[in-house]
Amino acid sequence: MLTRTQKEEQVAELADRFGRATCVYIADYRGLGVEAVNTLRSRVRSEGRGDFEYRVMKNSVLRRAAEQTGVPGLVEHFVGPTAVAMSYGDPAGLARILSDFAKEHEIFELKGGALNGAPISTREIATLATLPSLDELRGKLVGLLMAPASKLARLLNEPAAQIARVIGAHAKQGDATG
- Quick one: 20 and 99 in the same domain? yes
Which residues, in sequence order, are CB contacts of 52 under 8 Å at separation 6+? Answer: 44, 45, 85, 86, 87, 88, 89, 93, 94, 97
Are 100 and 157 in a shared domain? no
154, burial (CB in 10 Å: exposed 0-12, middle 13-18, buried 19+): exposed
Q: How many Å separate Cα 118 from the centre of its chain?
A: 16
For residues 127 and 113, give the distance between their C-alpha atoms in angstroms, rounded to a whole number: 13
Verify that 67 and 144 share a domain, yes or no. no
The pTM of the full predicted model, rounded to 2 decimals, is 0.75
Q: Say if residues 85 and 94 touch (Cβ distance below 8 Å).
A: yes
Interval 51-88: pLDDT, tens: 999 999 899 999 999 888 877 678 888 998 899 999 99
Are 69 and 152 members of one domain?
Answer: no
- d(Cα 74, Cα 20) in Å, to the nearest integer? 15
Together in a domain, 60 and 124: yes
Residues 138 and 85 in one domain: no
pLDDT at 176: 66
CATH number reported for the structural domain that contains residue 82 in this entry = 3.30.70.1730
Provide the pLDDT for residue 108: 92
Identify whether residues 31 and 94 lie together within a single domain: yes
Non-local (6+) Cβ contacts of 87 within 8 A are: 21, 22, 23, 48, 51, 52, 53, 93, 94
- Please check whether residues 110 and 23 belong to one and the same domain: yes
User: Quick one: 65 and 153 in the same domain?
Assistant: no
Number of domains, the chain: 2
Q: Residue 158: give the domain boundaries.
A: 132-178
pLDDT tens digits, 2-23: 788 988 999 999 999 998 999 9
β 118-120/83-87 pair status: unpaired
